Amino acid sequence: MAYFDSASSAPLHPVARQALVASLDEGWADPARLYREGRRARLLLDAAREAAAEAVGCRPDELVFTSSGTRAVHSGVAGVLAGRRRVGRHLIVSAVEHSSVLHAADAYEADGGTVTRVAVARTGSVAASSYAEALREDTALACLQSANHEVGTEQPVAEVAEVCRAAGVPLLVDAAQSLGWGRVDGDWSVLTASAHKWGGPSGVGLLAVRKGVRFAAQGPADERESGRAAGFENIPAIVAAAASLRAVRAEADAEAVRLRELTERIRARVPSLVPDVEVVGDPERRLPGVVTFSCLYVDGETLLHELDREGFSVSSGSSCTSSTLTPSHVLRAMGVLSEGNVRVSLPMGAAEEDVERFLSVLPGAVAAVREKLGAPIPATVVREDVLVVDALGKRCPIPVIELAKVIGDVPLGGTVRVLSDDEAARLDIPAWCEMRGQEYVGEEPAERGSAYVVRRVS
C-alpha cells in the first residue's frame, strides 16, 4: 500500500518513535514539582521547547505547546483579538485558510466582529496588495497560511507581513503544512503548527507569540504554558514532536529536491495520460511533495475508492466526501473544478517506483469511474434559440457531463441552459467552461434550483 496523503497526516518519523518510547520512563511526572522526578520532566520539557523554538525561529519563552494545531490556531486568534480589542474588531483572513482559521473567524463574526476574506488567484495565491487594501484602522489581526493544505500553493508571507507590520497589525501564520520544510520567512507576529504534519505524534501543537504582541489568553486562568495552553503537558509526545521536527529539518533540503522531481513528474504526465484533466495550484511556488489535479466527469469520492483498491491512499477536495456535501472552500475560492479532485501528497521517503505505479494505474481508475457513472442521455428541449438541459435531481458531475454532451448541438454563439439543484454545479459549470474554452454567461433563477447559461464559442 502506498500512502500518498502526508498533507493530512505524515507517518510517524522513526526519531519520533524512539524519543516517545525513551521519554515515557522519564517524562511522566509533573514538571511543575521540585522533587527529582518533576525536575527530570522539566528538563525534558525545556529541552523540547528550546529545540522547537530554534526550528521556528523564535525565543523559547515565546513558544508554548498546545493539545493540537487547531487548538493553537483558536488560542492564537482569540488571544490576539482580545489583546487588541481597543484597536478595533476587524479580522482579515484569506479565502483559502484551513478550516480551523475560518471557524475561528466565523465565531468572531457571530460575536459581533467584522471579517474580511481576501480573494485568491486561480493558483490559490493571495496578493500582498489585497491585504494592504483590506487593512483598516480598526484591524486587530490578519491571518495567512504559509502554504495551502489542499493544493500546495505557498503564500507570499514575507510580503504580507511587511504590509501588516507597516500598518501596525500583527500577522498570524498557520505554518502547519510548511514548518517541516523550513522556517517561515518574514516578520510574522504569531505562528501555529501541528506535529503530526511533519511526522511527530498527533495531539501536539505549537503556538509562538512574539514579544511585544498584545495577547490576552481566553478561558479560565491556568498556570501552565505561560497561561496560554491549559492542562497537564504530554511531555513524551512533546519531546517526540520536537525531536522529529529537528530530524526532518536535517533531511529537508535533499528530500525537497527529490520530492519536487517526483511531483513534477506527476504534474507533467497526468494530463497526457488522462483526458480532460486540469492540474491546479501554483506551478512554481508550491510545497515539495504536493500535487493536485481535477478530472472532468468524475466523482472524487468514487475515484478515491478506486485508487484505494489499487493500493494508493490519496485525498480529495471533492464536494462528495463522507463528511460534507458542499464543495471544498479552497477549490471554490480558486474557481477550479470541485469534482474529480485528487491530492497526492508524498511523505518523506516516498519511493519512485510507487509514483510510477500510480501513474500506470490512474488512467484505468479514472476510466472505470467514468464508465460506472454512465452519463445518462440528457433530457433536452429547445426553447426558442436556447438548448435546455434538465439535470434536476442529479448530483455533480452528471450536470457537467450532460452539458458536455450537448454543447456541440448548438451553433457557435448559441447557448445551453443547464437546470440543476446541486450546489456543486455553481462551481463546476463555470470551471468546466474555463477548461473547455466556452463562455459562462451566468446563473439565472429557476422554479427549482438554478439555471446556468453557457454560450458556445468554440
Cβ–Cβ under 8 Å, residues 395 and 376:
no
Residues contacting residue 289 through CB under 8 Å, at least 6 positions apart = 6, 7, 152, 259, 260, 262, 263, 345, 346, 347, 348, 350
Q: Would you call 320 a catalytic residue per the annotation?
A: yes
SS3 state at 386: strand
Cβ–Cβ under 8 Å, residues 88 and 140:
yes
Q: In 3D, which of 203, 169, 222 has the Cα closest to residue 70?
A: 203
The type of residue at 86 is R
The three cell numbers locating residue 7: 498533507
> Phi and psi dihedrals of 243, rounded to 5?
-65, -40
Cβ–Cβ under 8 Å, residues 230 and 97:
no
First vs last C-alpha separation in the chain: 43
Q: Which of 58, 143, 164, 320 is catalytic?
A: 320
> Phi and psi dihedrals of 417, rounded to 5?
-110, 110
Query: What is the CA 412 to chain-centroid distance, rounded?
Result: 39
Q: In 3D, which of 393, 291, 301, 378 has the Cα closest to residue 338?
A: 301
The type of residue at 345 is S
Active site residues: 320
